[in-house]
Amino acid sequence: MMKYQYLAVVFVIIMLPISLVFSAYIGAQLDTLNLQISYDTKLDNSTYDAIKAFQLNAINSSTSDIVNSKIRDIEAGANSFFMSIANNFNMAGYNSDNLKKYVPALVFTLYDGLYIYSPFENTLDEETRSKLPPNATYTGGEEVIGLKPYIYYSCRYKRGEIDVTITYSLDNYITIQGYDKNGKGINDAGYLLDDTLRYSKISKEITYRGVRITPETQLKEYIGNVEYTYIKINGVKYYRENNDTNTWFTITNGRKNTIATQFENKDYNDMGYRYYKEAFEFKERLRSYGLTDLETSDAVGVEDIKNADGDIVYSFLDSDYSIFDFYKIEEPNSNFNNHRMAVIRYVIEKNLSIALANYNNGIYEFRMPKLEEEDWGRILDNVCLISFLQGLSIGGKIYNGYSVINNNKNEEVVTEDSIYIVQDINNPNSEYHRITHKGLQDMIDETKSKGIFNMDLERKSIQDTVSQKTKYFYPHYNLGCYTCYIAQTNVENSFDSIYKYLDKCTAYGYGELVKLYYTALGRERYSTYKVFRNPEQHINQFKT
C-alpha cells in the first residue's frame, strides 16, 4: 500500500508542473487568438470607415471620375482610415504615428486600375528642389506616405505583326494601344458584347439577345422639389432649366453652375441605343485589326497565378484559348471574363508585392499575405479597398492581417446589380425592384416603367444660392420594394448569371421587361466617364 502512495505522490509532483505549464500555454494561446480576432475587427472597421468616406465624397461630387477629384476622394478615404485606426487602437496603447509604421499599404482598386497609398522614399533632386517655394518642407531621400502613380489593369500581347497593350476594366470595356496585323497603329476602346448583337446600317435597327433596343423617353430627376430633364455625358449630368430649352446647368461639388452649352432639344434619350450601336462597330474594328485571333498564350511578361495553397488558379501560357470569343462574352465564366480577371489579379498581386517588399520600417519585414479566393472574388467584382496591418505583437506571434471592403455605390462602374426597375417613373411613390423580382413582368408598363441607376437613389447635396446653406435631396423619391430589395425573399436566385435569367424571360415573352433593363444598363455604362474619350469631341455629338 505504501508503495502505491509513493507512486501517487511522485505522479503528482511530476504532473502538476506539467499541467500548470500546459494550462498557462493554452491560456496564452487563447489570449493571442482573442487579440487577433479583436485586431481583425478593428482593421475591418477602419477599412469600412475609409471606404465610406471615399463613397460619400464620390456621391456628392459630380467630378468624382476625373483624375484630380478621384485623387482627392482617395486621400480623404486614406485620412479617414488612419484617424479611425488610431481611435480603434487607442486603448491598445498605439497612436496614429506609431500605427502608420505598421500599415505598409492601402490599395484602392478602381474601374480600370489601382492606386497604392504607401510609404516611399522621396527622390527629390536639387534641381527640382530649387524650383519649389522657400517654405517647402520636402527634402530628397525623405520617407513620405502618399499615393503612388496610377497603375492600369494592362497586359501586352504579341502575335505576328500584332503588338498591343490591352487595358481591362471591372466590366466589359477595354482600351487598346499598339499595332495591328498589318503593323498599323491602333488607339481604340469600346465595350464587348455578345455575338447576338445585330445592327442594321440601313434600318438603324438594333437587336441584342433577342430584344430590340430603341431610344427611350427623356430622363428626369428631382433637385429639391423641382423635377428637371437631364442628359448625362461622360460622367457629368446637364440639367435643362424648366421652360427654357437653351439654358442648362450642372451641379459641381454641391454648387449650381449655369453653362453656355446648348444641347439638342430631343424628346428621347438615345444613350442606351448608342451603347449597343458603338459596341457593334467596335467589334467590327477588332476583327479588322486581327485582334479576334489573339489567344491567352500570346500574353507577354506574365506568370501563373496561384492560390493560398500554392495551386495554380490560372495559367496564361497553358490555357490556350481565344480571348475575344464573343459567344456570351459578358457572362461570368466566359473566356474573356476569366482572362480579364486573371490580368487584373496579376497586376494587383505584382504591384502590391513590390510595394510591400520595398517598405521596411526597421521593425518588421513586410510581406504579401495570402489572400483567400473569396476575397479575390470581391476584389475583382467592384471598386474596393484592401488594407494591411502587419508587425504588431499579439503575445505568442506577430499580427499579419488584411481587410477587403467593397464599395458597391460608386459612379465608376455600373454592375449588373446596379440597375433597378421603377414601376411608374412619373410617380415618386412608386416602388423600385430588382430585375429578378418574381412576377415583375406583370407589374410594369412600357410607357411608365424605367430602369434607373442605384446611385440616383442616394441622397445628394446642393448649396442654396440665396441662403448659401447646404440642402439635401434625392434625385428619385421612390422606395425599394420590401420583398425583393430589403428582405430579398421574392427573388429568383436559381440562375448563376443575370444574363441567363433574362434569356429565360425573353423566351417566355417578357421582352419589354428585358428591354427596360438592357436599355438602362447600356445607358448608364455609356454615360460614365472614360479616360479614352476626347471630352470636347464627345460632347459635341449632343449639341445643337
* 319-353 pLDDT per residue, tens: 678 899 898 899 988 999 999 999 999 999 888 88
Beta-carbon-side half-sphere exposure of residue 119 (alpha carbons within 13 Å): 18
Largest CA distance in the chain: 112
The residue with cell 420590401 is 482
Q: How high is the mean pLDDT of the chain?
A: 84
* pLDDT of the residue at 264: 82
Does the pLDDT at position 253 exceed 50? Answer: yes
Percent of the chain with pLDDT over 70: 83
Predicted pLDDT of residue 64: 44
Would you say residue 434 lies in a domain?
Answer: yes
Residue 256 belongs to what domain range? 219-265+414-527
Percent over 90 (pLDDT), the chain: 42
Q: What is the mean pLDDT of residues 488-502?
A: 90
pLDDT for 482? 92
Within a domain: 8: no
* Residue 437 located in a structural domain: yes
Contact 74, 53 (CB under 8 A): no
Give long-range contacts, CB 8 A cutoff, 24+ apart: 158-163: 158/298, 158/300, 159/293, 159/294, 159/295, 159/298, 160/290, 162/289, 162/290, 162/291, 162/293, 162/294, 162/298
Residue 532 has which C-alpha cell?
Answer: 479614352
| Cα 474 from chain centroid (whole Å) | 23
In the predicted structure, residue 415 carries a pLDDT above the cut 60: yes
> Per-residue pLDDT for 186 more than 70?
yes
- pLDDT-derived band at 224 (thresholds 50, 70, 90) equals confident
Which tens digit of pLDDT belongs to each residue from 115-151? 998 877 766 666 666 666 666 666 666 667 788 889 9
Q: How confident is the model at residue 55 (pLDDT cuts 50, 70, 90)?
A: confident
Q: Which of 260-269, 271-280, 471-480, 490-499 has the highest mean pLDDT?
A: 271-280
Distance CA 390, CA 388 (A): 6
Strand ranges in 192-320 using DSSP code E only, listed in sequence order? 198-199, 206-208, 211-213, 216-217, 219-223, 226-233, 236-240, 248-252, 255-259, 268-269, 299-300, 305-306, 312-314
- 378 within 8 A of 350, measured Cβ to Cβ: no
Closest by Cα among 94, 98, 74, 82 to 43: 82
Average of pLDDT values for 504-517? Answer: 95
> What are the beta bridge partners of residue 405?
385
Task: Judge whether 144 lies within some domain.
Answer: no
Residue 489, in any domain of the structure: yes
Task: Report if residue 510 sits inside a domain.
Answer: yes
Q: How many separate domains does the chain show?
A: 1
* From 90-99, 224-233, 388-397, 420-429, the region with the lowest mean pLDDT: 90-99
The reported pLDDT for the residue numbered 523 is 97
In a domain, 534, yes or no: no
- Which is nearest to 328 in space by CA: 210, 188, 438, 190? 210
Q: Who's near 103: CB < 8 A, 6+ residues apart?
A: 82, 85, 387, 388, 389
Residue 452 lies in a domain: yes
pLDDT (tens digit per residue) in 13-42 = 776 666 666 555 555 555 566 777 888 888
